[in-house]
Homo-oligomer: A and B are copies of this chain.
Amino acid sequence: MKDLSGFVERLKECNADVHKAREFTPFIVDGKEVGKMRAGFVDIIRAYKDVFTLQRGREGFVGLAPELDTCEKRSQRVAEVLEALRKEGVITGWRDELYPVTASFYEEPVMLIERAAATHFGIKAYGIHVNGFVRDPQTGAIRLWVARRSPTKPNWPNKLDHIVAGGQPHGLIPRDNVLKECAEEAGIPPALAATARPVGAVSYTTVSASGYKPDVLFCYDLELPPDFVPVPQDGEVSEFTLRPLEEVADLVANTTEFKTNCNLVIIDFMVRHGYITPEMPGYLKLVSMLRSGDCS
């Protein structure tokens, strides 16, 4: 594992077609760009003229009707539109989970929207990913707990995943989200989950048929006792396996078995734990690509 090109490929997949972002129409609220929409989605929502405004031309953008001047009013009126689009089959995979719409993580949201609409609006979405690992007490060798997503999951069925990962919903701080997801996804008790250590963040931007997806993932390391065994709780995981880091590295470098954004978090883990070293050509490029999206 001296060639980092497989890892670079995975990072490129996370940032697929990002050059096409210029074809998208900015979504501007309160003078701030908070999203980007594909032309096809702009054509759909412009029919809702009492909610959305459309400025055409080179400097064109989608906005909201001026009387929608609070977070609450905007969230409510946009939710009505989204409910209609859900019935029309435009928005699928409804989650009943609200995401904040904001120019950056620490700003007050200009509104809240259903998670399933996030990529259509091209809003920044945040998540938490937990590297759950076991260290050999003798050799120090690391094994990583890997989840297999259930075959019935609407997104990324059967793909490999982190032991615990989830979107960052409105109204829950990342730390509490980690505790909640640890319990819900893997049966990790709160006292153990509380030892998860925040270790930074990675970012990427994916452009696809679904829309524009500028994501930031808060990364956590959770060292687990050798005798701890995670248990699938909610039917979203079909199995957990504990794999040597070398095997995980091989899967990341040479396959697309992992859900795309997990690769990014695992590569960051391997950099921080010295599994990937400065002597490997491409190291610095790899390190800088871990945060090639708007990390704010």
Q: Which residues of A contact B (CB under 8 A)?
A: 104-106, 173-175, 197-201, 203, 216, 218, 271-274, 276-279, 281-285, 287-288, 291, 295-296
User: In the complex, A260 Cα to B266 Cα: how many Å?
Assistant: 31
Bound: A252/B187 CA distance, A: 39
CB <8 Å contact, A278 and B201: yes
A279 touches B216 (CB 8 A): no
> Which residues on B sit within 8 Å (CB–CB) of A283?
105-106, 201
Q: Which residue of B lies closest to A220 (CB)?
A: B274
Contact among B274, B287, B291 with A287 in the assembled complex (CB-CB below 8 Å): B291
List residues of chain B with CB within 8 A of the CB of A295: 284-285, 287-288
**Does the CB pair A197–B273 fall under 8 Å?**
yes
Q: Which residue in B174, B277, B284 is a CB contact (below 8 Å) of A216?
A: B284
Which residues of B sit under 8 angstroms from A282, Cβ to Cβ?
Answer: 106
Let me know if B279 and A173 touch, CB within 8 A: yes
Which listed residue (B174, B200, B271, B279) contacts A271, Cβ 8 A? B200
Q: For residue A282, which residue of chain B has the nearest CB?
A: B106
A175 adjacent to B277 (CB under 8 Å): yes
Q: Would you give 5 A-B contacts (Cβ < 8 Å), ordered by A?
A: A105-B283, A174-B279, A287-B291, A288-B295, A291-B291
- A197 (CB) vs chain B CBs: closest residue: B274
Whether the Cβ atoms of B284 and A201 lie closer than 8 Å is yes
Q: Are B199 and A104 in contact (CB under 8 A)?
A: no
Across-interface contacts of A199 in B (CB, < 8 A): 271-274
Looking at A218, A273, A295, which has the most chain B CB atoms within 10 Å of its CB?
A295
